[in-house]
DNA sequence: CATGAATGAGGCTTCATTCAT
DNA sequence: GATGAATGAAGCCTCATTCAT
């Protein structure tokens, strides 16, 4: 019947700790403690270290899990879409985990180098699709002939800027939900060729 | 006449501490300790707290001083210049204190709210000149008719993006020195109307 | 007939744990952990506590088993032999388990009092044979007329001294193998009467 | 007047911590904690780390201080004396700090290598005087012609053996006070030539 | 005002031990 | 009996802050 194996139990606990870490670090920032994570997860302090031998290890695991989740979602971004659809989809994805995304944006320097590399690799795929799509638009004469990598960097820069300053742009906390269309249409206006 | 008044003595010490804090926090990041600041300043650990009752207070003072310095420099930015000159001057200014600017960019959340407000106010002036200049360009039909605040946000976003990822764009550490012209010309290309 | 009874199974596991404990404690010293013992034994961490409710209990069991093994070997020491043969045999026996012997020599204070008593009792038998043999030599005028218990204590002291300082006397780790003859002949020279 | 400078104050505290460490480690053995030391010293837990950044560091400092103290005393041992006087003086010295000596005897493996080397160096001087004195006795035909280093090792071995087993030889805790003469006379009897 | 020794709350981590499966 | 995830007490160490000199 609904028997739960020990292995399931274990990964369930691991998941709870990661979930707790996610919400605690998201809320309190990098100064959150392992004890707070334990409490939020409803497990003993020691349990945290059974699953993650080190705070750095926990953060890394969190980054990896989030990176995978985000990567999977970003995977669905295809160069086939229109620019608008692409950007819209991109922001929708980031918007799903806005808080966590911001956390890692701010604390990326704390991650071990190899995790940072994973992070980058993930970013790269988005960049790849973005570039392909944009190149097509440029070739079609719909977008200005600016290096595509610069188009990508601009987009990311703008997106991050709005995120970092979300308290200005969306005091209630969810920038993208609020500013998505505006952000996209302004950006489009910027990059598109005039007729 | 070479007498040094007590008040001078005091403000001299205060300055040394701030200078030390600047270099220490810049080098070691937010994990630097007050003891390290004291050592770097060549004063006792206690002296730090004579002048700045609290770490937060020290950081705030540092932010304020830096903000003022930056503000003064930014003050010279005038809407009278060409866009290119303006942007060039802007990056030159930021480039002077690239490390410290990045430090506050990354750790702004640690500052007390009112300092954050100062920070913003300072930013505003730049924004004001930027907007005025850009509006002129728009009116003259040289720049696209995008809301000027979005032009400003884009510019800042791009600039910050290059800063945050300086290890990618300029491994040796000084992004603006290396990428200034490229960044500006690409940005210009983006915002300018085609002829 | 190859059936293994539950009792056999149990004692087999117990033996494996003790074996593992022996090698782990011998190698890593008293700071070795129960988890390491479990791993070395190829059993679960919990199993260790099924057989030995307490770390102290495990150490005691180890001491008892080693004591018995050593005792059995020492048992073969007979007062019938020549002094030289006796001492040679003694060192050969200790040399068999030099590492473990040293471990208990160093950590005897951690053992519960009653185990220490066992330890002593075991020692006693050697002392008994030693004394008997030595008395015979004294009576025969071949050995100095020193209290036999002092002769025993001297011998043990010297032996332990070489063991404790084996890194000086035999950097490769096996003192007795290297210094046995020298140690014995010097000691003999010391206690024997001149002709 | 009786003004106490800050430097004096500091070294006074350092001394109190070392004194406390001495008594605490002596009493409770190596399992004593830094917190216990702090309490015994009447200072805060943090203070211990102001003076000794690390537990290992504290133990080392303790070893060094004790080594110096012991070394200074052993320094007074001169090869000019009679064997009996020499050994008597030696045991008197060890007897002064019997507990601490035993602590380091048992836990020497915990000391960093260079401290262990100091320890050895100190021992060496005693060995030197011992050897010189003994050689004279051998040359004079009063002591058996055994290698002097073996005579030294025997003596140390015996002394340490009595120390390690002091609960057997002197249940009240002070072996040397109780057994000094007996130990010396037996040892002398052992090494001396019969007439 | 400057000093720097002292404080103590709080963080991360370890590990013997327990207990439900 | 065997398992191994979970526990939680306890240890070492850090560091902003205080205060007597």
Query: Touch between chain A and chain D (3+ CB pairs, < 8 Å)?
Result: no
Rounded to the nearest 10 degrees, how much is the dihedral formed by the CA atoms of B39, B40, B45, B50?
Answer: 160
As to burial, measured by CB atoms within 10 angstroms (0-12 exposed, 13-18 middle, 19+ buried), residue A183 is buried
Does pLDDT of B142 surpass 50? yes
Are C133 and C164 in the same domain? yes
- For residue B158, the chain A residue with the least C-alpha distance is A157
Which protein residue's Cα is closest to nucleotide E2 at C1'? B47
Are C49 and C60 in the same domain? no
Are C171 and C95 in the same domain? yes
- Give the tens place of pLDDT for each residue, A157-194: 999 999 999 988 998 888 998 899 999 999 999 999 87
The stretch C175-187 carries a mean pLDDT of 93
Beta strands in A13-144 (DSSP E): none
Residue of D190, D193, D195 to mutate, interface with C, max C Cβ within 10 Å: D190
Q: Do B186 and A146 touch (CB under 8 A)?
A: yes
CB C144 within 8 A of CB D189: yes
Q: Do A186 and B144 touch (CB under 8 A)?
A: no
- For residue B185, the chain A residue with the least C-alpha distance is A146
Q: Please enumerate, as own/partner, the contacts of B182-188 that have beta carbons within 8 Å and a separation of 24 or more.
A: B183/B91, B183/B158, B183/B159, B184/B84, B184/B87, B184/B88, B184/B91, B186/A146, B186/A147, B186/A150, B187/A154, B187/B87, B187/B154, B187/B155, B187/B158, B188/B83, B188/B84, B188/B87
Please list every residue in chain D whose beta carbon sits closer than 8 Å to the beta carbon of residue C145. Answer: 189
- Neighbours of B, requiring at least 3 CB pairs below 8 Å, are A
Picking from C79, C73, C62, the residue whose alpha carbon sits closest to that of residue C16 is: C62
CA of D124 to C1' of F12 (A): 35
Does pLDDT of A136 surpass 70? yes
Please list every residue in chain D whose beta carbon sits closer than 8 Å to the beta carbon of residue C171. Answer: none
- For residue A183, the chain B residue with the least C-alpha distance is B150
| Closest nucleotide to D49 by C1' from CA | F13
Query: Touch between chain C and chain A (3+ CB pairs, < 8 Å)?
Result: no
CB D24 within 8 A of CB D40: yes
Residue of B87, B108, B149, B150 to mutate, interface with A, max A Cβ within 10 Å: B150
Q: Do D161 and C156 touch (CB under 8 A)?
A: yes
CB C135 within 8 A of CB C175: no
D191 touches chain C (CB under 8 A): yes
Are D82 and D45 in the same domain? no
B191 touches chain A (CB under 8 A): yes
Length of chain A: 195
Q: How many interchain CB pairs under 8 A, C with D?
A: 72
Does pLDDT of A1 surpass 50? no
Please list every residue in chain D whose beta carbon sits closer than 8 Å to the beta carbon of residue C160. Answer: 157, 160-161, 164
Please list every residue in chain D whose beta carbon sits closer than 8 Å to the beta carbon of residue C147. Answer: 186
Are A135 and A46 in the same domain? no
Q: What is the pLDDT of residue D2?
A: 43
Give the C-alpha separation, C179 to C166, whole Å. 10
The stretch B164-173 carries a mean pLDDT of 89
CA–CA min distance B28, chain A (Å): 12
- Give the tens place of pLDDT for each residue, C27-39: 999 999 999 999 9
Q: Considering only residues 85 to 114 of chain C, which have any Cβ-Cβ distance to chain D shorter than 8 Å?
A: 106, 109
Tokens of B6: 């007590």
CA of C151 to C1' of F11 (A): 45
Contacts of A46 (CB under 8 A, 6+ apart): none
Are D48 and D79 in the same domain? no
CA of B92 to C1' of F8 (A): 56
CB A34 within 8 A of CB A55: yes
CA–CA min distance D121, chain C (Å): 13
H-type helices in chain C, by residue range?
Answer: 6-28, 34-41, 45-51, 55-75, 83-96, 98-107, 113-139, 148-164, 166-169, 175-191
Does pLDDT of B71 surpass 60? yes
Mean pLDDT of chain B, nearest integer: 89
CA angle A65, A67, A71 (to 5 degrees): 120
- Give the tens place of pLDDT for each residue, C60-94: 999 999 988 988 888 888 777 889 999 999 999 99
D45 DSSP 8-state letter: H
Are B37 and B62 in the same domain? no
Q: What is the pLDDT of residue A42?
A: 96
Does pLDDT of B58 surpass 90? yes
Does pLDDT of A128 surpass 50? yes
| Closest nucleotide to A36 by C1' from CA | E11
Are D13 and D102 in the same domain? no
CA of A3 to C1' of F5 (A): 17
Q: Which of B29, B150, B162 is opposite residue A186, by nearest beta carbon?
A: B150
A124 touches chain B (CB under 8 A): no
- Give the tens place of pLDDT for each residue, D17-30: 999 999 999 999 99
Are C106 and C176 in the same domain? yes
Picking from C182, C154, C186, C180, the residue whose alpha carbon sits closest to that of residue C92 is: C180
Are D15 and D106 in the same domain? no
Does pLDDT of B83 surpass 60? yes
Give the C-alpha separation, D189 to A51, whole Å. 65
Does pLDDT of C1 surpass 50? no
Query: Touch between chain B and chain D (3+ CB pairs, < 8 Å)?
Result: no
How would residue B1 be classed by pLDDT, with cut points 50, 70 and 90? very low
Please list every residue in chain B whose beta carbon sits closer than 8 Å to the beta carbon of residue A168. Answer: 120
A191 touches chain B (CB under 8 A): yes
Give the C-alpha separation, C167 to C173, whole Å. 7
Domain that holds residue A43: 1-53
pLDDT beneath 70: ranges in chain D: 1-4, 195
Q: Which of A154, A156, A161 is opposite residue B190, by nearest beta carbon?
A: A154
Mean pLDDT of chain A, nearest integer: 91
Give the C-alpha separation, A122 to C3, whole Å. 57
Q: Which of A159, A186, A190 is opposite residue B190, by nearest beta carbon?
A: A190
Q: Do C146 and D189 touch (CB under 8 A)?
A: yes
Give the C-alpha separation, C99 to C122, whole Å. 18
Give the C-alpha separation, A63 to B165, whole Å. 18
Are C13 and C79 in the same domain? no
- Give the tens place of pLDDT for each residue, C101-147: 999 999 988 787 778 788 888 888 889 999 999 999 999 999 999 99
Give the C-alpha separation, B181 to C131, whole Å. 96
End of a domain among B18, B34, B53? B53
| Closest nucleotide to C48 by C1' from CA | F2
Q: What is the pLDDT of residue A195?
A: 61
Q: What is the pLDDT of residue A81?
A: 81
Are C44 and C97 in the same domain? no
C192: which strand partners? C143
A193 DSSP 8-state letter: P
End of a domain among A37, A53, A69? A53
Q: What is the pLDDT of residue B7?
A: 67
Q: What is the pLDDT of residue C6?
A: 63
CB C80 within 8 A of CB C89: no
Q: Considering only residues 12 to 71 of chain A, which have any Cβ-Cβ distance to chain B shorter than 8 Å?
A: 29
Q: How many domains does chain A have?
A: 2
Q: What is the pLDDT of residue B9?
A: 65
Q: At what angle do helices C175-191 and C83-96 cross, to 10 degrees?
A: 150
Q: Do B162 and A158 touch (CB under 8 A)?
A: no
Q: What is the pLDDT of residue A111?
A: 83
C179 touches chain D (CB under 8 A): no
| Closest nucleotide to D55 by C1' from CA | F12
- For residue A154, the chain B residue with the least C-alpha distance is B158
Q: What is the pLDDT of residue A89?
A: 94
End of a domain among B9, B34, B53? B53
What is the model's pTM? 0.90
B193 DSSP 8-state letter: P
């Amino acid at each position: 019947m609904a028997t739960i194996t020990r292995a399931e139990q274990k990964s369930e606990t691991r998941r709870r700790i990661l979930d707790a870490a996610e919400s605690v670090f998201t809320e309190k920032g990098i100064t959150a403690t392992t004890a707070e994570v334990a409490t939020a997860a409803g497990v003993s302090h020691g349990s945290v270290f059974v699953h993650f031998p080190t705070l750095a290890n926990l953060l890394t695991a969190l980054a990896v899990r989030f990176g995978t989740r985000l990567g999977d979602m970003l995977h669905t971004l295809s160069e086939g879409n229109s620019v608008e659809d692409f950007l819209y989809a991109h922001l929708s994805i980031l918007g799903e985990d806005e808080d966590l995304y911001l956390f890692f944006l701010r604390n990326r320097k704390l991650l071990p180098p190899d995790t940072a590399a994973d992070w980058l690799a993930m970013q790269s795929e988005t960049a790849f699709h973005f570039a392909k799509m944009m190149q097509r638009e440029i070739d079609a004469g719909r977008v200005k002939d600016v290096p595509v990598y610069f188009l990508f960097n601009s987009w990311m820069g703008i997106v991050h800027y709005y995120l970092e300053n979300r308290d200005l742009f969306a005091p209630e906390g969810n920038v993208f939900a609020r500013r998505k269309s505006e952000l996209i249409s302004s950006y489009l206006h910027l990059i598109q060729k005039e007729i």
